Chain A
Amino acid sequence: MGKKTPLYECHLNANAKIVDFAGWDMPLHYGSQLQEHHHVRHDAGIFDVSHMTIIDGKGHDVAACLRRLVANNIDRLTPNKALYTCMLNEQGGVIDDLIIYKITDDFYRLVVNSATHDKDLAWIKKQSTGYDVTFKEQSDLAMVAIQGPHVRAMLFDLFDVHDAQAIADLKPFYAVNSPRLFVGRTGYTGEDGFEVILPADDAPSFWQKCLDLKIYPCGLGARDTLRLEAGLNLYGADMNESTTPLESNLAWTIAWQPQERDFIGRQALEKQLQSGVKQQLVGLVLEGQGVLRNHQKVMIEGKGEGEITSGSFSPTLNKGIALARVPANMGAQCTVEVRGKYVPAQVIKPPFVRQGKRAFEFNKMEQENNE
């Protein structure tokens, strides 16, 4: 028996297929993960993401501590703004990726992964020693993501008029913090939408309200294909403690300025930049039919080999797609070993899908095949 979110009963009522995810009993799908995927791309879906860890950091030194703790710079934040960042070890490897919300100068909220819960809390505790700050897990909160192009039109049916207006006015990566409700215009699907944090006791009725508005319940299966199409990394698959952000298509999350900010892992990253980054994370699109899978071997003529870190099937493109770690400076073409066969794949820069449409150009050969 795993841990259960405040919405577990709601999932059973919606006929969820429940699977273990990092010790949590979570919905994989509610019948068809493909339909759930399409609902989010074209309409609206809701995900229970209460298994994720919410940590509130409070104290005089919270900003100073976070400046050292993470690779992106929290000084970019104004109150109620969110930042995506990696938390690195001294070798520049990724301990976890997380979202940090600034609430006030002495209050920041962190949302980290559930699979890394224990080591994240231990690391944050260790690194915050000596600072005037306390980081406290908020286990009495629930979190849902409501995602899809039609979500914004439903805000006044979901929230009271005051909150709804504030949420409707949010720019991407900003949040509203009101009593018993915290809503960020963030997500993990590549669609517009919101992540809603609320007291565990309020979660089931909010969930039901969403379902009554025909927001479609979506499980972890659809969450994975949506994030992959959107080119968003999954911690533990696409990056881990032995890969750096530079090797994980996350260079944009490293704040090099100001130079004197000595975040953990900085020296290792600078060294890696000087000696040349030898690997990169790219997108692959299978040219023929089929599905790409994690750990399949990728071969690039004259450049060497790589490996798929997240392989799946794109319901939007109707093609096998993947993220793969490959040698730097490879070309636009490679071969993947799929079930004993060598099949051609196109190399792209993620994302695969943006706002419901293909976000890259097929290479010439493929274009001719498709015409």
Chain B
Amino acid sequence: MNNIPKTLKYSRTHEWVRQDDEILTVGITDHAQCMLGDLVYVELPEPESSIEMGQECGVVESVKAAADIYSPVSGEIIEINEALLDSPQLVNEDPYGKGWLFRLRPFENKVAGLLTADQYSKQIASEAH
């Protein structure tokens, strides 16, 4: 079974979001990295760029497939995980830790429209059938 931490919020497109004060950290879920297999290339958004919720803002590519990253919230990119450019496998090894993708400052204080761990868990269970 894939790891789905209760403390995080999730998007339907398999990103996770961690809130620390007014800063959000975004990555892809354990389920997503498992489905993709070994990642070999990651493209991240430009720092200081503004992105809208649901907007394509990066790519993760495994040997077998490429998947777009969609921003789970609207905001300004304040930091990207540059370690991934040389070591994309960090996403496989530690998707909720060292494999984070980017940090952003949301335009609105209240982050809406994301799934709880239970809701996300139900979603991937339904996708499997």
A312 contacts partner chain B, Cβ-Cβ < 8 Å: yes
A331 at the interface (CB under 8 A from B): no
Question: How many contacts A-B (CB < 8 Å)?
Answer: 38
B89 to chain A, nearest CB (A): 7
- Would you call B83 an interface residue if the criterion is a C-beta within 8 Å of the partner chain's C-beta atoms? no
Q: Which of A27-35, A41-49, A115-123, A187-195 contacts B (4 or more CB under 8 A)?
A: A27-35
For B23-47 the 0/1 string (1 means CB < 8 A from A) is 0000000000000011011000000
Contact B63 A313 (CB under 8 A): yes
A172 at the interface (CB under 8 A from B): no
Q: Mark A303-334, 1 if CB is under 8 A from B, else 0.
A: 00000000011010000100000000000000
The complex places the Cα of A173 from the Cα of B22 at a distance, in Å, of 65
Cβ-defined contact, B40 with A339, below 8 A: no
Residues of B contacting A: mostly: mixed
Q: How far is the CA of A221 from the CA of B66 in the complex (A)?
A: 15
Q: How far is the CB of A270 from chain B (nearest CB, A)?
A: 40
CA distance A34 to B91 in the complex (A): 14
**Stretch from A137-145, A233-241, A287-295 at the B interface:** A287-295
For residue A72, which residues in chain B have a CB less than 8 angstroms away from its CB? none
Which A residues are CB-close (under 8 A) to B8? none
Contact of A225 with B by CB under 8 A: yes
Chain A residue at smallest Cβ distance from B68: A339
Q: Let me know if B41 and A34 touch, CB within 8 A.
A: no
Distance between B36 CB and nearest chain A CB, rounded to angstroms = 11
Establish whether residues A289 and B37, one from each chain, have CB atoms under 8 Å apart when the complex forms: no
Q: Nearest Cβ in chain B — how far from A61, in angstroms?
A: 45
Task: List A contacts of B115 (CB < 8 A).
Answer: none
A225, closest chain B residue (CB) = B63
Report how far A315 CA is from B64 CA in the complex, Å. 12
A291 touches B38 (CB 8 A): no
> Do A290 and B41 contact each other (CB < 8 Å), given the known contacts A221-B64, A225-B63?
yes
Q: CB-CB < 8 A to A293: which residues of B?
A: 66
Residues in A with CB closer than 8 Å to B41 are 289-291, 313, 320
A interface residue count range (under 10 / 10 to 19 / 20 to 34 / 35 or more):
10 to 19
B59 part of interface (Cβ distance < 8 Å): yes
**B40 and A313 form a contact (CB under 8 A):** yes
Determine if B38 and A312 form an interchain contact, defined as CB atoms under 8 angstroms apart.
no
CA distance in complex: A29, B92 (Å) = 14
Q: How far is the CA of A290 from the CA of B43 in the complex (A)?
A: 9
- Contact status B37-A33, CB under 8 Å: yes
Of the residues A17, A221, A289, A290, contact of B63 by C-beta under 8 Å: A221
> Could you show 18 A-B contacts with beta carbons less than 8 Å apart?
A17-B37, A28-B37, A29-B37, A32-B37, A33-B37, A33-B38, A34-B38, A34-B40, A34-B63, A290-B41, A291-B63, A291-B66, A293-B66, A313-B41, A313-B63, A320-B41, A339-B59, A339-B66
Contacts A17-B37, A221-B37, A225-B63 known; list 20 others, CB within 8 Å.
A28-B37, A29-B37, A29-B38, A32-B38, A33-B63, A34-B38, A221-B63, A289-B41, A289-B85, A290-B61, A291-B40, A291-B41, A293-B66, A312-B63, A313-B40, A313-B63, A315-B40, A315-B63, A339-B59, A339-B66
